Structure 1
Amino acid sequence: MNDNGESRKEAIGRTKEVLNAKTKTRIGFWNVRTMFETGKLAQVTIEMNRYNLHILGVSESRWTGTGRYKTNTGETVLYSGRDNNIHTKGVAIISKKGLEKSLMEWKSVNSRFIRIRLKGWHNNLNIIQCHAPTNDNEKDIKGLFYEQLQVELNEIPRNDVITLIGDLNAKVGDENIGAERTMGIHGCGSINNNSERLVELCASNDLVIGGTLFEHPAIHKLTWYSPNGRDKNQIDHIAINNIWRRSLLDVRVKRGADVGSDHLLVIASIRLKLRRTDRRDMHKKRLDVNKLKDPDVRKLFTIQLKNRFQALPVQENYSPQEMENINHLWNQVKTSYQDAGQLTLGHRSKKYKEWISQEAWKKIEERRDIKKKILATKSERLKHQQQQHIEKSIVM
């Protein structure tokens, strides 16, 4: 037992709960307006735990710089903000206590993007928390945002589950003609320019906008209310790979959550369906380590590996009980090397070598010809015997 009375089996089990096919993974996203106030982070984490969230994506954290922080109650906060000491914008991702052991890597992009990758039971989970420019911003600013978002999507491994969450300032509406694969018919409001860009991005990356798929009353879909209470819109969204569309169980606004923001907390519930294993993927693939002879490839591999090692918990923070679990530590290191290798090196192309020589094939053909002759001779002999038998029967 550890200091909190938790068994080692339970502690290890917490590392496997993300994307478990038997349980729901609850992901929230919320524009909290600011966390650069005394006690604001504590308010956010209290609401996070009250709604039993595994992950909470935060827009407008207004923290500067980038870093990793652990709260007094055990949540892990990864944040990305401006580097000029101006407390505007900023994004963050908060994970519940114990979930940091599933963290494979994280990337601070800028004050509008942060990305994490979590180890899942069957497929890994990539979460991009973002905060898009408002619809009134200049086209160049909005264009740059979606260009950077596309770059991040391109870096995600093909088999990962992708969830794009945050304040996207996009009113997608309820008209999905021509975009049936990208959105449903349960959106709110009228489509705006930001929404057109979002729908185009989702269509090109085969993502579906989750908040438009479920039929709820408007109060459970509208995510922003103006201070005067007259204007209200659905501008905070989650998008997920279309292949995992049926694994998205629900997307709903929680009006009871409160941190003094004009945005409401949105929660998405995900449960993956088990898929039949492709037998071709069961064969072990080897990394193409010969590419490391190239200095540029070797440098890229080193950078990727360094980024993944930085995401691992610092050894001095482990408890004695956790240090005893050498297998868990080794798996984290092994996964870091494997993922860095797959991204920069790829796998060896398997060349099939003929194990039967041409001379052996020639002998096989000769044997086939002999067998044909034998069978032909036997057939002729039987045919001749039958003919003789018929002739004897006629004479008698």
Structure 2
Amino acid sequence: MWYTTSQQDQQSFAFAGYILEPDSNLCLITACDLGTRLNVTNGSVGLATLHPNLIATISDVIALDDRSSFYPSRLQHVPGPKFDHYLNLIDQGGLCLATWNVLTLNFPGAKSMLALELKRFGVAVAGVTEARLIGNDSEDISEGYHLIWSDDQRTKTNEVALVLDSRTRRSLLSYEQISDRILTAQIQHKHGKWTIIVCYAPTNQASDEVKDCFYAPLSSILEKVSPHDVLTLLGDFNGTVRDTDGVWNSVLGPVKPDCLNETRLRLLQLCNMHDLVITNILFQRKEVHKYTWYSNDGRTRKMLDYIIVSRRWRSSITNCRTYRSAELGNTDHRLVVSNLRLHLKAQKSDHRPPKLDLNNLTDSNTRQVYAVSISNRFDCLGQISESEEAWQLFKDGVLLLAESTIGRLKPRKNFLDIAGNSRYY
């Protein structure tokens, strides 16, 4: 906080986006709109009227004023991609996703090192936790990657970030920094939209209030996602799952949780509520390729970082494992990489018979035969008391007689002419 004790400053005024409000002998600086004009009731206020201590700190005030970090967050729209830039998620080999707790990106060269490691493993989209970058912003980093991050400017911890390669960046529709623990983005692909959520869950030692502040907004976001979207969650959920017997079959597949604590239980309940599947344990892997966190004692290891998808797109995940060779600073977490390739299946349509050939009714003989057939067929309808039964008999009879007397159109066959154009006959 900054204060002024001069009697000349005891009037409310605006300077560089901040208001000084008189309160006895002190004036507290509070944030206001940057567009506020610089004036007071008795005239303009200049630097000379400010307290010397306030003048010395005014540059720091302006530097710390990052409007995008104030919540509630705002949805950031980007220019819509052209159709040629839509992602093709059914390509051979698919697209690589990753999640990584890097502990910090707030040291020289960290962003470039992150880009190099992601490029080495062919990662197109990566969710980064504990980035520890200040403010809510986005920028291009090396190797063609684009970095978007979100944090709480008050604590400067628990930040999440999203890294996109150049191809995915062109397909980005919008992104939203929900909080310092949740960031969402929407990407356009050739068959629909892809919603990505980057998360950093509280640890088991956190209070229930902190956990509720994370899981309640996350659940609300998941409810708003369209069921047609490809949904992916990337991040550090601070909960472990292991191989034992099974209650959470729909969430974990063949792998079940062991010794559930509150954090693990919240994660599994969230997945079960919103039809999500944890992909880390869908495939048979060596133990060293499952664990994502290793303690400094060299013996304790856990699975904390997950790539989670909606159950509808479970078959689109073709691989998921950790890579021990990925290194960045002093992080004790491993890079988790998964392959996403959509498997689309055309819906089976009900077979419909060809339409009736109504052109045959232009022939007088055909019209007469049809009229006589209808008259003879439905002389007995007056004896039926139930209207539903009468309507069903009438409908079936008309269609049957029309098909036998009028006939149906022949189905058209498709062929290619000499020029390669599609024709019908």
Structures share fold, TM-score greater than 0.5: yes
User: Is residue 101 of structure 2 the alignment partner of residue 35 of structure 1?
Assistant: no
Q: Residues of 2 paired with 1:31 and 1:127: CA distance? A: 17
Unaligned runs of at least 5 residues, structure 2: 1-80, 351-368, 380-425
Could you tell me whether the CA contact under 8 Å between 1:171 and 1:192 is conserved in 2?
no
Q: In structure 1, which of residues 112, 122, 129 is the aligned counterpart of residue 181 of structure 2? A: 112
Which of 171, 175, 184 is the equivalent residue of 1:102? 171
Aligned residues: 280
Q: Which residue number corresponds to residue 205 of structure 2?
A: 136
Counterpart of 1:49 in 2: which secondary structure? helix
What are the residue-to-residue correspondences of 1:142-157 with 2, within 5 Å?
Answer: 142-157=211-226
| Aligned twin of 1:381 | none
Coordinate RMSD, CA, aligned: 2.6
Change (3 A) 1:24 1:375: closer
Contact 1:182/1:209 (CA < 8 Å) preserved in 2?
yes
What is the match of residue 85 of structure 2? 15
> In the alignment, is residue 232 of structure 1 matched against residue 298 of structure 2?
no
Counterpart for residue 332 of structure 2: 262
Structure 1 stretches of 4+ with a deviation exceeding 6 A read 11-14, 367-370
Comparing 185-194 with 137-146, greater Cα deviation is found at 185-194
Could you say which residue in structure 1 is the equivalent of 2:277? 208
Q: Percent identity?
A: 28
The answer as to whether partners of 1:55 and 1:96 remain within 8 angstroms in 2 is yes
Look up the SS of the partner of 1:68 in the other structure: strand
C-alpha deviations, 1:51-72, integer Å up to 9, x for none?
A: 0100111000011221111114
Equivalent position to 1:51, from 114, 121, 128? 121
2:312 is the alignment partner of 1:243: yes
Q: Which residue of 2 aligns with 1:160?
A: 229
TM-score (norm 1): 0.66
> How many Å apart are 1:275 and its aligned residue?
1.8
Instruction: State the AA in 2 paired with 1:112.
Output: R
**CA-CA distance at 1:376 after TM superposition:** 9.4
Which residue of 229, 244, 247 corresponds with 1:175? 244
The one-letter code sitting in structure 1 at the alignment partner of 2:222 is L
Residue of structure 2 in register with 1:74 after alignment: 144
Greater share of strand: 2
Deviation at 1:129, TM superposition (A): 0.6
Structure 2 match to 1:123: 192
Change (3 A) 1:12 1:255: farther
How far the C-alpha of 1:371 sits from its partner, in A, is 4.8
Partners of 1:187 and 1:80 in 2: how far apart?
33
In structure 1, C-alpha distance between the alignment counterparts of 2:206 and 2:111, rounded to whole Å: 29
Q: 2:160 aligns with which of 87, 91, 100?
A: 91
How many angstroms does 1:23 deviate by? 3.4
- Tell me, what secondary structure is at the counterpart of 2:113? helix
Q: Which residue is 1:336 aligned to? A: none
Task: Indicate if the aligned counterparts of 1:17 and 1:23 stay in contact, CA closer than 8 A.
Answer: no
With a CA cutoff of 8 Å and minimum separation of 6, indicate the structure with the bigger relative contact order: 1
SS at 2:184 equivalent: strand
Check conservation: 2:88, 2:189, Cα contact below 8 A.
Answer: yes
CA deviations on 1:145-194 (whole Å, 9 max, x unpaired) are 11011111122122001111100001122235221111123468643321
Q: Secondary structure at the match of 1:181?
A: helix
TM-score normalised by length of structure 2: 0.61
1:24 aligned residue (79, 85, 94)? 94
Match of 1:223 among 292, 296, 317: 292
Change (3 A) 1:15 1:277: farther
